[in-house]
Structure 1
Amino acid sequence: MTANLFQPYTLNHTLTLTNKILMAPLTRCMADENLVPTQAMADYYARRAEAGLIISEATIIRPDGQGYPNTPGLFSTEQIQGWQNVTQAVHANGGKIFAQLWHTGRVAHPHFFGGGDVLSASAQAVEGSVPRMRELTYQTPKAATLEDIEGLVSDYAQAAANAMEAGFDGVEIHGANGYLIDQFLHYDSNRRDDEYGQTPENMSRFALEVVDAIIARIGADRTALRVSPGAYFNMGTDARDRAVFDYLLPELAKRNLAYVHAGIFDDAMEFDYLDGRVSSYLRKVYPKTLVGVGSYSAETGAAAIAESKFDLLAIGRPFIANPDYVAKVRNGEAVVEYNDAMLAELV
């Protein structure tokens, strides 16, 4: 039932994956106080190196992108060196690993970066408080100025260059799940009236500028993007969003990215304005390599690949519970069921 998951997959002329099972990005909040990856993190990723590709936990591109405690960064020399330890451990075990580049936008909190502005597409706050630190409530963000946007694009590109210095095989830009880039792509969070708002072309501009800047630094073959066409996390739905992604995704296809990755917690969710599931919509609009995710098992994911619903399968929480997930699937062994208590330590 899962044999197709164990066929190699060629992403492009420089990257071939040994199998079609990807380890999805999983925020673990286990970096040190300087947001430097630890030896425990290196051991954790190395144990999962049999995945066709590991996508790292979301990794912030600069200090004001932080919205959760102890999330790793890729903007200091010490952080780059910490990640070198991780990538060397993964490569020693025969694996490949991309860094997921992250700025949380309006769900950042000044507590983490010593005060200052929280940046977003518009001054539209999200309700609630910081996970794991409920005493910190979200702030009303500042609408990023044109100068701010220019700086953000530059810092994304520098983080991508830092990732390659750290030994990563490429980067996945986090443009999904209600974070900064996604905040430009949805009408709920983007109320701008300048060249970054109001129309699909304008609302896609920031995402494409980030993609293009990173391609210029490290190459399209080493660049991927995660997107959430369906607003579902820290974001209100708006049927007009469909037109934004109808414009964005064909533009991405022109750029020959390594892949596009769906951002959804459960792909059984349906969105009226997408005519169904996120994965189904992406397959209609984006003709190149697509990564599916969202509560799939190996069996249901293999079936979806067989039906050409997507090309590669990203698995999340089962990888927390099963460092040897790939071997267990290959051998037809039962997998350990995930539970939240497993978040307390890296195994």
Structure 2
Amino acid sequence: MSKPILSSYEKQRRTRNITVLSLLGFLIATVFVISMNTGFMRLSPLEVLQTIGGQGNHQQKLILFDFRLPRIVISLLVGAGFAVSGCILQSLSRNALAEPSTLGITAGAGFAVILFISFFPATTAAPIYVLPLLALLGAGLTAALIYILAFRREGLSQARLVLIGIAVAAGINAYQIVLALRLDPKNYQFVATWMAGKIWGGDWRFVLALLPWIVVLLPFAFYKARVLNVLNLGDQMSTGLGAPVERERLLLLAAAVALAGSCVAVSGGIGFVGLIAPQLARRLVGPRHQVLLPAAALTGGLLLLAADTIGRWIMQPAEVPAGVVVAVIGAPYFLYLLAKSRA
């Protein structure tokens, strides 16, 4: 009698998950269209369609293809990357507060990028493709430091992991401010907008610099979904099931750090996407990572694209950085999770 009931439950869950993923995809498509029509130079939906069909004038093609579409694509890629990185970190640490910015990974990657741009121009093609590597180096060193400080003989301390990450992030942010004060006005303006979380990569070169990392790392994370399910059972249970716990944890941690670092290189210091998106996705589709990771990627892309669109619209002709818009939502949610974890 239990088998048909279980089969019916599995069908209902599968149908619900497909519905949720389809709805997220529809919302992304809707915000995508709205974002193409949003900006200081407004294009009507008809003008957008005509421009996509090759019938727009030179100005419309310049606005749509050279300015808005690259930024929209970067928002989607960065949102998905941060969300999957946060989902992996939350699963590995079994802590709902873990994500790239709270663990200091974003700050470490950002410090490497700012340090490079402070002394070398980022206007030529070569540095743009080097930035993800530099961000990965900064993020990797920061993650290694936090991992070493949080590790104890009995294993990795989840509580220490978050607390040490917050402390390291605060220290790196202080160094960033000191560095910014020594810059010339032009570079200082860039660093200030970068730290506020403005998506500064605004052309197709930045898309091409980020795309290989996303194309490689997201499928790898999806492939490791079953491993994440096993690791969530605890180290002793995972070892009993035959999983090489430390090796898999380090591989997944490296993937999360690489995702966050490469995204920081083109997006600036955007926080809270890796915190909010996995939490919302978990509420929608449950804890199974085979569905949770794709749902988190879609949720993160939707969240950051909506934040960037709102930031371009709300105070025209000025722009509010997407990181500020996300922080308005993320900070109260972070406090809610913190209060809930103490309860």
Establish whether TM, by shorter chain, passes 0.5.
no
More helix as a share of residues: 2
Greater Rg by CA: 2
Task: Return the TM-score normalized by structure 2.
Answer: 0.24
Larger relative contact order (CA 8 Å, sep ≥ 6): 2
